[in-house]
Structure 1
Amino acid sequence: MKIKQILRGLLFCLGIVGIIDTVLLLLSNGGVNLGTILPGTGGGLLLILVLSKSFFQKIISLGITRPWFSKTRLCVTSLVLIGLISFLVVEGAIIRDSRPDPVVEVNYLIILGAGLNGEQLSWTLWERMQKGLEFLESHPQVQVVLSGGQGPGEKISEAEGMRRFLVDHGISDERILKEDQSTSTMENFRFSKEILIRQSNFQNLARVAVITNDFHLFRSKMLAQRNGLSPVGIPSPTPWYIVPNVYLREYFAVVKSLIFDW
């Protein structure tokens, strides 16, 4: 009995933490997306489960003698286990690929867009551009493809915002190629590839450096490969306070890309 009480207490606390996490991110303009909404939704469900213990016990006691109940419970349990296993496998791959790849010689760098506030770089995109600037300064022979279209709340394309940042920091416009039509990671690489194949010194399956956030590298490299590129991952850091949210959201994004992004 004591163990059950401890478990209920832990679930209750976890539910409260999930709700607080969602509220704080929404108040800090974290945006409405899976990463911000799921912790609060899950937390709410946990609270309902804990606070409605007697209700669920009554349902179970009524259904446990019925044949359909055991089949339904087996089906739900199987789906939960499959979901848990897939979550662990995918998150393991995301974490594994969040580290930088060994440095190799490349002729091109692709920096993926990450949103603008009007004409100003979002914090996430600023971090990516800092990494890109460091790389371009230390590899003066490399050209860069800036990939990102124009979305809601953006006065210019992400590619143009990134171009301005690099030019303001001393990178020659001649080294910059803009891809300003993409609205997804898949399109980032599809449209960037179309630009690259028009370059005289580019070959199919050539190595290209890719800069994006650490949690986004696994999916980015997978989609780059689907578009005939050989990516070398360079991660930019993610603020610690949104790490659980973005890694959770990325699981669903990876599943979506595995199925639909071809």
Structure 2
Amino acid sequence: MMKINRKVRGLLFFLGTIGILDTLLLFLSNGGINLGTILPGVLGGMLILSVVVKELFWKSILLRKDRPWFIKLRQGIISLFLIGLISFLVIEGEIIANSRPDPVVEVDYLIILGAGLNGEQLSWTLWERMQKGLNYLEAHPKVKVVLSGGQGPGEGISEAEGMRRFLVDHGIKDERILKEDQSTSTMENFRLSKEILARQAGFQNSETVAVITNDFHLFRSKILAQRNGLIPVGIPSPTPWYIVPNVYLREYFAVVKSLVFDW
């Protein structure tokens, strides 16, 4: 048992170190400060701290394993950990399963979700989404597109305007483009886009629409689209391999938040 405990503590310490190194490497590569970059470091620090605390105080009088209050505390912590682990595995499984493209169906409208600008230039993530959207619009010349994204800190124009400029510069006619430039969250993306679509002649309530966003973001996007009366067909854009662990980890917490609060 002691050997098993040492191996578990060694594994936790190793995973904690990996998490901290991951955060540091993303900082050094200009990954920015956001939940996706700092979360692995924070969780890694917590894992290392738990190992250190256990090593220092496990045999102390305060944490003697035979004390009733300590037994209950340990059981509570283990129960919470197992609940969290199960929810993490289930939700991450859904995120991964929904990261693949849905079967192609005929639609009249495409929604492209914004993903940040650097001044007036598309971020790499948004450029990937727009390239995917451009290919789709060229292949489906009758489809109109809703470009959804407001203006955030560090952005010289709204994301919707940046996306519009990209499409127009690549030959998509302005009359095919509908701008939604007020949203600040994924929920608002769909709520405000639905309001724009509802004003279009011939649009039917609960109409199927195509949605382009990053692969890790599709699961949550489809949930929120459905909450706003749309039937989404997901078209994923790729995520750079070096940030995949970060964004998929961050998305777990974003899904939990949306399930509880985004109504």
Normalising by structure 1, we get a TM-score of 0.96
Q: CA shift at 1:122, angstroms?
A: 0.3
Q: CA shift at 1:52, angstroms?
A: 4.2
2:58 maps to amino acid: Q
Q: CA shift at 1:5, angstroms?
A: 4.0
Gaps of 5+ in 1: none
1:138 has 2:139 as partner = yes
Q: CA shift at 1:8, angstroms?
A: 3.4
Q: Per the alignment, in what secondary structure is the counterpart of residue 58 of structure 1? A: coil
2:69 maps to amino acid: W
1:30 has 2:31 as partner = yes
* Alignment correspondent of 2:242: 241
- Deviations 1:106-156 (CA, angstroms, capped at 9, x unpaired): 000000000000000000000000000000000000000000000000000
**d(CA) in 2 for partners of 1:131 and 1:62?**
57
* Alignment correspondent of 1:87: 88
**d(CA) in 1 for partners of 2:89 and 2:220?**
15
Q: Is the 8 A contact 2:63 2:70 kept in 1?
A: no
Gaps of 5+ in 2: none
Q: CA shift at 1:54, angstroms?
A: 2.9
**d(CA) in 2 for partners of 1:134 and 1:80?**
44
- Deviations 1:177-216 (CA, angstroms, capped at 9, x unpaired): 0000000000000000000000002101110000000000
* Alignment correspondent of 2:205: 204
Q: CA shift at 1:17, angstroms?
A: 1.1
Q: Is the 8 A contact 2:58 2:64 kept in 1?
A: no
**Superposed CA RMSD:** 1.5
* Alignment correspondent of 2:230: 229
| Stretch moving more, 225-234 or 72-81 | 72-81
1:78 maps to amino acid: S
* Alignment correspondent of 2:57: 56
Q: Per the alignment, in what secondary structure is the counterpart of residue 248 of structure 1? A: helix
Q: Is the 8 A contact 2:23 2:38 kept in 1?
A: yes
> Cα distance 1:63–1:7, how it changes in 2: closer, same or farther (>3 A)?
closer
1:66 has 2:77 as partner = no
**d(CA) in 1 for partners of 2:55 and 2:196?**
62
1:83 maps to amino acid: G
Q: CA shift at 1:48, angstroms?
A: 2.5
User: Identical aligned pairs, as a percentage?
Assistant: 79
| Stretch moving more, 157-166 or 50-59 | 50-59
Alignment of 1:94-243 (within 5 A): 94-243=95-244
**d(CA) in 1 for partners of 2:248 and 2:73?**
31
2:176 maps to amino acid: R
Normalising by structure 2, we get a TM-score of 0.95
**d(CA) in 2 for partners of 1:78 and 1:136?**
50
Q: CA shift at 1:49, angstroms?
A: 3.1
2:140 maps to amino acid: H
1:237 maps to amino acid: P
* Alignment correspondent of 2:22: 21
